[in-house]
Structure formats: C-alpha cells, structure tokens
Structure 1
Amino acid sequence: MLTQTSFQGKLNKTEDLFIPFIEAGDPTPEVTIDLALKLQEAGADILELGIPYSDPLADGPTIQRAAKRALDNGMSLQQAIELIPDMRANGLEIPVVVFTYYNPVLRIGEEKFFKLLEEHGAEGVLIPDLPHEESESVRELALKHDIEYISLVAPNSEERIQKIASEARGFLYCVSTLGVTGGENQLSSEVTDFIQKVKEHSPVPVAVGFGISTNEDVQMIRQHADGVIIGSKIIRLVEAEVENLKDDSKRHEALNRFYENVRELVE
C-alpha cells in the first residue's frame, strides 16, 4: 500500500490551486519569510521558493533582478533551504517546492541536496534546466527522501507529453508558452488545447505558469487547468515595495499592500 507523502499531507485540495513564486533572500531573508506567510494568507496552496542563481536561463528580467538582489545579500542554496524551518516556525503550513537550476545542485552534490531538503522540511523540488530524459537519478533520490520531483512539460514537448505527464508527481508544471518567464500577453487560444492534452495523461494536478500577469489570465487558466503558477507578477509586486520592505518602520504596511495586490490578482 502506498503511503501518503509529506507533500500530499500538506496539500488541502487538488483543484483551483494557487502556486506563487518568490526568490529566497529577496529583498532580505527575513522578508522572504514574511512574504511566504502573506502569500499563504492570500490563499496560496503551494509555495515555490526560488534559489537565486547567476544564470537563470528560464527566467526573464524581473526574476533575474530578484536573483541579483538575493545574491548581493549573500544568499546561497543551503541558506535558502534553511529558511524553510523558520517559515514553518512562524506558521507556514502549505507545501514548499524548491525551484533551482541544476548547477547549484551539482556543486553541492545531489545526495547532499536532497538530504538538506528532507532535513529542512521541503516537500518538493523543481529543476527547469534538467531534461526529463536526464533526471532519473534525481527522481530516484527524490523518492528516497520523500520529496516530490515536479516535472515540466512545454508546448514543444508534444511527442513527450504522455511520458512526462504519466510519470509526474506532486503536480505537473505546464509551461504556457515558449521563451522565458515574465512576458506580457503571452497566452493564446492554443494553450487550452495543450492543457487538455496534458490532463489526459497526468495522474496529478496540472498547473499552468509563464505569462500569467492579470486576473483575466488567472480566470482563463482556472477554466481549463487545476492550478495557476504566478512568478514574475508576484516578484514585481515585491519589487514595487523593496525599499519599504527593508525598512522596519514601513514593512508592516508594505506587506499589507502586497497582500491586497495578490488578492486582487487571484480572487
């Protein structure tokens, strides 16, 4: 009999999922914790915690700037993972999926990386630049350490959709468009056909990301997918308040504005 994973144990539903992305250490490690809690309060079902990296190939300029701010603060892969217990101690209950490129994992070592994730309470990991065909050892380590390995499937993956989707765990990240994150007006009518193809083969919820920046985008995706992933737009909301978030006397009000803006985006 299959046992319930820690990811499934913390996930309260499998439809209408809101999955926001924030960058660990942006604008400070302490504020990252505050932002995570505000996102949970705003209805987030899963948190994507980005590991800052100097060459984020899948990310547009908004997330690149966030990564630079975090790196300038000295944030590292291990320090980012170590934020998760602090989030838990302050009341974060939703699953945390660590979003990282493969090079930082390679540098620290795959086994050590997954041991860190397990020890610090992460429930999932997503590695966008690791092709599915080259991920077998990582997926095996994820299973060993009770971590859900989140797969991505893109519009140019039609011949691979069935294989990637059928092996998906946790949720399946469905990339709505080719290119990098953060573009505006990238959604098209073809996306709905693509989502349907993916859902036919996926045993887990299908969540859509890339190019989702308005409430209209969110509502459209919700009609066809099980979840919506929002990265660059969330980071732009953080960016708009960076200086206030770093100021102890202004942080509370800045976090409340951030919360209200997120609610307006997803409600």
Structure 2
Amino acid sequence: MSNIRKAFEGGKAFIPFITCGDPSLEITEQLVYAMEEAGADLIELGIPFSDPTAEGPVIQEANVRALSGGVTTDKVFDMVRKIRRKSSIPMVFMTYANVVFSYGTDRFMKTAKEVGMDGLILPDVPYEEKEEFDSVAKTYGLDLISLIAPTSEDRISMIAKDASGFVYCVSSLGVTGVRSSITTDIGAMVKLVKAAKDIPCAVGFGISTPEQAKKMADLSDGAIVGSAIVKICAKYGTNCIPYVKEYVASMKKALRS
C-alpha cells in the first residue's frame, strides 16, 4: 500500500499544510514532528514560489518571507532528508509547475523520491496538462495528486479515474484562505469521485475551525488546512511550534468525535 493510502486507514485524515522555511527551515522540520505527535495523518510541505497563483495573501506572504530568508528547493530537499531519519509520516509537496520546471522535471521527481517524499500537488497544472508531470512522477513512484473544483462538474469522473494517492477536493472557488462558510456541495463531488474510482478524497481551501473540519470530513475522507496554520506561524514566528501543535491536536480531535 502506498504511504499516502496509509494516511486514510485510521479513520478521517487530518492534513496540515505549512510553507517550508517560514519562519525557518529548522522550525519547519520541528513543526513536522510536532504535527505528527498532535495526530496529523499526512503533511503537505509548500515549496515557496514567487508567484503562487492559487494562494491567498496569508500563504503568499509566507512564500515571500521564506524566499527572502534564502529558502531554495535544494535546501527543502535537505530538510526532508533530515525529517526522514526520524519520521515516516506520509508527506507531499505542494508547489507550482514553474518550480518543478526550473529545477528540471526529471531531476525534481527523482530527488523528491530519493529524499522520501510520497507525492506532489501542482495546483496550477490543469488535468489536460497533467501528463508531462504525471508520467515522470509515476516513473519514480510518486503520486501526483489531482485537484477537483466545484466547477469541474462533468470532468470530475474523468479526473478521478486517472487520479493517484488521494483526490484533493477544492471546497470553494478562488484562492486559499479562511472562509466563514463553505457552500459547495462537497458530498456530491465526493460521490462522483468514488463512483469513478476507489480513492480517498480530502477537502481543502477555507477550513479553519474544528467545526468546519468535522463537517467536511463527515462528507469525505479527510480535511486539509493551510492558511489557518500559516497564520499561526506568522503570528508567533520562531515560537510557533507549541501553538501549531495545539491547533492540530484540536482539529484531529474534532475529526475523531
């Protein structure tokens, strides 16, 4: 079984996202251990990029901070190597096509697998252009995670049939960020995916409270939270670890209830 599948074996999965290098790569490494201890099932590591089109201001600012702190893709790979000496928690990168391209697609996928990553999310690559990345990812045994949005409608089953790892259900239109309410019919999206393929579905974009996480996880196999965690990192800087740990524990507890 793939490492990613394992994340969904123990009930509803909680999937936190953090931006690598915000506030520093040393803290990012410690955050991974803290979030795993707090009950995270899979962790998304954002490789910072200068123009993260899917992100709202919170994660955009984290990207800027990380890049001005000197974070590079190679430094992120080195950090993952360190993490893998202590932890086997499923992890995927979230970044942009440009980051992979400029590194060299083959070299990127090969290195990602070598350092111990399980998969990759590229939010700016539409299904129709996925193949050039997916074929290379498959060669090295990495899952390229597919996203479906409320507007995917008749494309959902097509995207799902081809999906690997898990399907990332985007709960609302627009960029990432905290939402006061989520109105998309997530249940219907998940049904369409499951009808096409037996694959876990996790919901992300806009989830910030334990109540929202539980509601989304009740309709799917898990909840993904990014901006709310990145906000904590921004607020507390190098002292953020206990606050993030406490937040992740509260979210996981809501999913278990």
Q: When the two structures are aligned, how many residues end up with a matched partner?
A: 253
Q: Tell me how far 1:193 sits from its aligned partner.
A: 2.6
1:185 aligns with 2:180: yes
Classify the secondary structure of the residue corresponding to 1:149: strand
Q: Tell me how far 1:198 sits from its aligned partner.
A: 2.7
**Contact 1:46/1:96 (8 A) holds in 2:** yes
How has the CA–CA distance of structure 1 residues 209 and 24 changed in structure 2, closer, same or farther, with 3 Å as cutoff?
same
Classify the secondary structure of the residue corresponding to 2:189: helix
Equivalent position of 2:160 in the other structure: 165
Equivalent position of 1:196 in the other structure: 191
Equivalent position of 2:81 in the other structure: 85
Equivalent position of 1:75 in the other structure: 71
Classify the secondary structure of the residue corresponding to 2:108: helix
**Contact 1:21/1:48 (8 A) holds in 2:** yes
- The CA distance in 2 between the partners of 1:111 and 1:256, in whole Å, is 37
TM-score computed with the length of structure 2 as normaliser:
0.93
Alignment of 1:203-214 (within 5 A): 203-214=198-209
| Deviation sequence 1:112-160 (CA, Å, 0-9, x none) | 1111111111110111101111111211111110111111011100111
Of residues 22, 32, 36, the one that matches 2:18 is 22
Of residues 112, 121, 124, the one that matches 1:117 is 112
Gap runs ≥5 in structure 2? none
Q: Tell me how far 1:184 sits from its aligned partner.
A: 1.6
- The CA distance in 1 between the partners of 2:184 and 2:129, in whole Å, is 31
How has the CA–CA distance of structure 1 residues 123 and 66 changed in structure 2, closer, same or farther, with 3 Å as cutoff?
same
- The CA distance in 1 between the partners of 2:163 and 2:150, in whole Å, is 16
How has the CA–CA distance of structure 1 residues 202 and 235 changed in structure 2, closer, same or farther, with 3 Å as cutoff?
farther
Classify the secondary structure of the residue corresponding to 1:19: strand
Q: Tell me how far 1:92 sits from its aligned partner.
A: 2.0
- The CA distance in 2 between the partners of 1:129 and 1:153, in whole Å, is 12
Name the % identity: 39
Q: Tell me how far 1:233 sits from its aligned partner.
A: 0.8
Q: Tell me how far 1:104 sits from its aligned partner.
A: 1.1
Alignment of 1:1-267 (within 5 A): 4-8=1-5, 11=7, 13=9, 15-89=11-85, 91-188=86-183, 190-242=185-237, 245=238, 251=239, 254-267=240-253
**Contact 1:6/1:146 (8 A) holds in 2:** no
Classify the secondary structure of the residue corresponding to 1:181: coil
How has the CA–CA distance of structure 1 residues 172 and 14 changed in structure 2, closer, same or farther, with 3 Å as cutoff?
farther
**Contact 2:48/2:66 (8 A) holds in 1:** yes
Counterpart of 1:72, as a letter, is S
- The CA distance in 2 between the partners of 1:43 and 1:133, in whole Å, is 35
**Contact 1:222/1:228 (8 A) holds in 2:** yes
Classify the secondary structure of the residue corresponding to 2:60: helix
Gap runs ≥5 in structure 1? 246-250
Counterpart of 1:166, as a letter, is K
| Deviation sequence 1:181-202 (CA, Å, 0-9, x none) | 0032241162333333333223
| Deviation sequence 1:31-63 (CA, Å, 0-9, x none) | 000111111111111110001011111000110
How has the CA–CA distance of structure 1 residues 265 and 169 changed in structure 2, closer, same or farther, with 3 Å as cutoff?
same
**Contact 1:23/1:67 (8 A) holds in 2:** yes
